[in-house]
Amino acid sequence: MKRTKRMVKRLFWGILPLLVLALASPAPGLAQSGTWTTKAPMPSVSAGPRGAVVAGTFYVVRPYVPHIGQDQAFYAYNPQTDQWTLKTNNPQCRHAFAIGVVDGIIYTAGGWDGGSMYDTVEAYNPITDSWQTKAPMPTARRDLAGAVAGGIFYAIGGNIAYASPYIRSEIEAYNPSTDTWTTGLAPMPTARNGLGAGVINGKIYAVGGDNGSDQYYAKLEVYDPAPNNWTTKASMPTARACPAVEVLNGKLYVIGGYNLVDGNATALNTVEVYDPETDSWTTLTPMPTARSNDASGAVNGVIYVAGGYDFLGNIFDTLEAFTPPITEITVSIDIKPGSYVNSINPKSQGKIPVAILSTPDFYAPDEADLSSLTFGRTGDEASLAFCTIEDVNGDGVADVVGHFYTQATGFQKGDTQGILKGKTTEGISFSGSDAVRIVPGK
């Protein structure tokens, strides 16, 4: 990684208070299926909103839906204060678009206004509270899914309404660094709209949706960008369209949506989670408010679901927060940021910097109990000297860098990895590892 200039705030134990905030997480005795809490409602009801998270803030686009008289609006929710703030609207009025975040910028693609289908792509910068129009999507469509893997924004499935086949299977890839689209990628095995998508370890998990003719899917299909291929995994227990989909700690959560019950479109409150390691699903605590076409985002280990509707004439401003039954968290770390080879001389009297990298569902400066950090050959070595807050990978999001006394890390000849351990401020354990190369001392 290339080291960039940054403002560094050094935190010395006993001199300055620790910069730590509570990670919303299970309390002792939490039910093994997770818990829901109700938060401050959105400033207005919203049918079909879309959600995204940047640096611990949950952004919700309230779309333009002319047939119900809904005007557009754009809000930001701060989980720490439980408050909403009005932001600048996106330029193009539309709904049923895809959304994703690349390097701290929110991208929206496609959608329609009830009559015209759009290929529009717009990018929102939270720092400047401003939008820019980008290169249009090759295939104008609505009710598609968006997902980000490897810094690329993928637009998946959806429908084009006025052509045959109108339910789509294509996947198109947008590169923000070049403002260009790539087409001709392997199509999704099952054409569908109203699907959801999440990314785990660089692979895109496309789930649910429908065929536009009252056939609802429980299918889970996985796209791997590197070989450009799809694989089919275990289906959800509950077939549905337009659910909220989020990823936390390597698992895929599918919440709400709708299906047909006795021939009628019916909103669901079902919550199911997929574990890629076991290719299996588990049913969790249902959402208090049954709804579909809502916005979701994961912040500090909690999934937030906002807005939506229930096919009974109710459009919601409701915000509900789900805390999964987390027992341990895996974090991404970078030993000696800026160094390609993490060479360590165990006899050195210096210190080893180890970065805990922030991710969309783990904002390290807020979530890590810095005083709990340990690092070394087993991860249990009490070697911490101090911590700094830095953006070590230049993604615009702050990371935590622990500085550890080399001689206290216990590294020995032949060790190939360093392990960091710690706890959140609620006592949930986390760990991460990175490669090292032990070199002889002089």
What range defines the domain where residue 145 resides? 35-323
- pLDDT for 31: 39
Mean pLDDT within 198-208: 97
Beta-carbon contacts of residue 59 (< 8 Å; ≥ 6 apart): 51, 52, 53, 74, 75, 76, 77, 87, 106, 124, 126, 297
- pLDDT for 98: 97
- Dihedral pair phi/psi, residue 371, rounded to 5°: -70, -15
CATH number of the domain where residue 417 is located = 2.60.40
CATH number of the domain where residue 198 is located = 2.120.10.80
- Assign 67 to helix, strand or coil: helix
Tell me: pLDDT of 7 over 90: no
pLDDT digits over 215-274, tens only? 999 999 999 999 999 999 999 999 999 999 999 989 999 999 999 988 899 999 999 999
Are the C-beta atoms of 54 and 106 separated by less than 8 Å? Answer: yes
Mean pLDDT within 37-60: 96
Q: Where are the alpha helices (DSSP H) in 110-209?
A: none
In a domain, 92, yes or no: yes
Q: 276 and 142, same structural domain? A: yes
pLDDT digits over 72-89, tens only? 899 999 999 999 999 999
Tell me: pLDDT of 277 over 60: yes
CA-angle at 142, arms to 256 and 171, nearest 5°: 95
Token couple for 224: 């791997």
In a domain, 376, yes or no: yes
- pLDDT for 329: 86
- Assign 366 to helix, strand or coil: helix
- pLDDT for 168: 94
Token couple for 9: 């705030």
Closest CA to 62 of 97, 27, 30: 97
Closest CA to 138 of 107, 164, 117, 113: 117
Closest CA to 275 of 208, 343, 211, 205: 205
In a domain, 29, yes or no: no
Reported confidence tier of residue 402, pLDDT bands at 50, 70, 90: very high
Q: 367 and 299, same structural domain? A: no
Q: 256 and 381, same structural domain? A: no
Are the C-beta atoms of 306 and 323 separated by less than 8 Å? Answer: no
Q: 286 and 196, same structural domain? A: yes
Q: 224 and 115, same structural domain? A: yes
In a domain, 30, yes or no: no
In a domain, 2, yes or no: no
Reported confidence tier of residue 22, pLDDT bands at 50, 70, 90: very low
In order of 149, 194, 229, the CA distances from 191 in angstroms are: 21, 11, 15
Q: In terms of C-beta density within 10 A (0-12 exposed, 13-18 middle, 19 or more buried), how is residue 442 classed?
A: exposed
pLDDT digits over 342-377, tens only? 999 999 999 999 999 999 878 999 999 999 999 999
Are the C-beta atoms of 59 and 126 separated by less than 8 Å? Answer: yes
Length of the chain: 442
In a domain, 106, yes or no: yes
Q: Which of 296, 323, 350 is the last residue of a domain?
A: 323
Q: 336 and 230, same structural domain? A: no
Q: 167 and 235, same structural domain? A: yes
State percent of the chain over pLDDT 70.
Answer: 91
Tell me: pLDDT of 30 over 90: no
Q: 290 and 273, same structural domain? A: yes
Q: Which of 303, 323, 343 is the last residue of a domain?
A: 323
Token couple for 20: 């730590």
In a domain, 1, yes or no: no
Closest CA to 304 of 87, 126, 37: 37
- pLDDT for 128: 97
Count the domains in the chain: 2
Reported confidence tier of residue 13, pLDDT bands at 50, 70, 90: very low
Q: 308 and 284, same structural domain? A: yes
The lowest-confidence range among 98-112, 146-160, 322-336 is 322-336
In a domain, 275, yes or no: yes
Q: 388 and 277, same structural domain? A: no
Q: Which of 299, 323, 347 is the last residue of a domain?
A: 323
- pLDDT for 32: 57
Q: 336 and 310, same structural domain? A: no
Q: 40 and 151, same structural domain? A: yes
